[in-house]
Amino acid sequence: GAGVSQSPRYKVTKRGQDVALRCDPISGHVSLYWYRQALGQGPEFLTYFNYEAQQDKSGLPNDRFSAERPEGSISTLTIQRTEQRDSAMYRCASSLAGQTEKLFFGSGTQLSVL
Amino acid sequence: AQSVTQLDSQVPVFEEAPVELRCNYSSSVSVYLFWYVQYPNQGLQLLLKYLSGSTLVESINGFEAEFNKSQTSFHLRKPSVHISDTAEYFCAVTKAAGNKLTFGGGTRVLVKP
């Protein structure tokens, strides 16, 4: 596609529910990144992939968070047993292989946990 | 590890006035530095970046930033702002050729007529 696409744009869920956030990167982009941005703060790194391989997951806050990219294209970030503190904007970005200096961000998914 | 501090959370400025957004970073290794902009209801967009070479970098819409290694700063400036520059600006750093950006907390710029 023309840009990085994220869905849903908004997600409201109840505490304890699982959510899955989707990212469709720019066609041909090998690297895919997930960031989380709490209200009033800058984005924080969560994890990143090259192709289908998860290269770094050091930013995932706990084991309720997981991400996959099974075919090296679309990625899903899953949060299990959501808590109110998980409420944030979740941002996906993609780039050609490892080119952090040329990241393209999607519009994000705004997650609200009630 | 790297860290970024944006000293001003909000900067009100009148149209056609100059603006400076301050950014200081901390790192023990060589870094790449970036400024991203987020317009209302849009995603993050790269404004400009420093990788190597000339310490003064410019964007296509009149912004410039200067890498100052001795002061570990990368301040963003524009000599004359427009209403359309109203946005949130984020400074970011990564170690050279690294794979994860560390962002500052952002500076909201509100341009008043």
A8-51 residue pLDDT tens: 999 999 999 999 999 999 999 999 999 999 998 999 999 999 99
User: Average of pLDDT values for A70-82?
Assistant: 96
DSSP SS3 for B6: coil
pLDDT of residue B28: 84
Contact B108/A at CB under 8 A = no
Of B9, B46, B51, the CB nearest to A103: B46
pLDDT tens digits along B18-70: 999 999 999 888 899 999 999 988 889 999 999 988 889 999 889 999 999 99
Contact A100 B44 (CB under 8 A): no
Residues of B in contact with A44 (CB under 8 A): 103
Instruction: Decide if pLDDT at A97 tops 60.
Output: yes
Average model confidence (pLDDT) for chain A? 94
pLDDT of residue B70: 92
pLDDT of residue A1: 53
Beta strands at B19-21 and B73-78: parallel, antiparallel or unpaired: antiparallel
Q: When comparing pLDDT for B27 and B90, which is higher?
A: B90
Contact B100/A at CB under 8 A = yes
Give just the sign of the alpha carbon dihedral B4, B10, B13, B16: positive
Instruction: Decide if pLDDT at B97 tops 90.
Output: no
- Minimum distance, in Å, between the CA of residue A81 and any CA atom of chain B: 27
**Band of pLDDT at residue A2, cut at 50, 70 and 90:** confident
Q: Are the beta carbons of B73 and B50 closer than 8 angstroms?
A: no
Contact B43 A108 (CB under 8 A): yes
Contact B5/A at CB under 8 A = no
